[in-house]
Amino acid sequence: MAARDVGVAGALFQPLKVIPAHGGPVLHMLRPDSPLLPDFHAGFGEIYFSEVLPGAIKAWKRHSRQTQHFAVPCGLLKIVLYDDRPASITQGRLCELNLGRPDCYGLLRIPVGVWYGFTALGKAPALICNCADIPHDPAESERLPVDDPGIPYAWPQHVRNEGIL
């Protein structure tokens, strides 16, 4: 399936297959021929899951070397991207998108240097899966508080229970 631009330079969304099966569907996430994975010839850094509880906000974070590849197989997330990269053609742009099931299942690539945060939509937890291109290294990421004035976004009042990424 073709990938599409989401409004921030380098951030792409690729719809993924959900294959109906007896007892529950099969959900694709990554294939070697994915247009979002051009740099994965040598493998990947790590895959991890993070649960997001209803009302929790996990924001803000960015990486200096790591590219994120998110899929949400359970639940639904609102993901917000903010591009403050000085050399970016989308510098200053904010992007909101929903990611998850049933209607927005896909793979989202978040490029190096883009701030991101997310919250679960609805009353159920959401499960995010990240396939990063390099192993986790706390020294290459940066965090800001959920209400940092440097990011021009106000999370809805009903989701103010802060969380960590």
Collapsing DSSP to helix, strand or coil, 4 comes out as strand
Q: What pLDDT does 87 receive?
A: 93
Mean pLDDT, rounded, of the chain: 89
Instruction: Decide: residue 32, CB within 10 A, 0-12 exposed, 13-18 middle, 19+ buried.
Output: exposed
Pick the more confident residue, 48 or 156: 48
Q: Tell me the two tokens of residue 56.
A: 């929790």
Over residues 73-122, the pLDDT tens digits come to 999 999 999 999 999 999 999 999 999 998 899 999 999 999 999 999 98
Q: Tell me the two tokens of residue 99.
A: 């990611």
Q: For the chain, which residues make up each domain, given as ranges?
A: 4-163
Q: What number of CA atoms fall less than 13 Å from residue 50's CA on the CB side?
A: 19
Q: What pLDDT does 164 receive?
A: 44
Round to whole Å and give the CA distance between 83 and 95: 9
Query: What does the pLDDT average to over 14-21?
Result: 89
Query: What does the pLDDT average to over 59-77?
Result: 95
Pick the more confident residue, 45 or 113: 113
4-163 is a CATH 2.60.120.10 domain: yes
Assess whether the previous peptide bond of 60 is cis (omega < 30° from 0).
yes
- Which of 107, 112, 87 lies closest to 97, judged by CA? 107
- Cβ atoms within 10 Å, residue 158: 9
3-state SS string over 76-139? EEEEEEECCCCCCCCCCCEEEEEEECCCECEEEEECCCCEEEEEECCCCCEEEEEEECCCCCHH
Q: What residues have CB less than 8 Å from 24, skipping those under 6 apart?
A: none
| pLDDT(68) > 80 | yes
Provide, rounded to the nearest whole percent, the portion of the chain with pLDDT above 90: 65
Pick the more confident residue, 162 or 147: 147
Q: What pLDDT does 44 receive?
A: 77
| pLDDT(63) > 90 | yes
- Cβ atoms within 10 Å, residue 10: 18
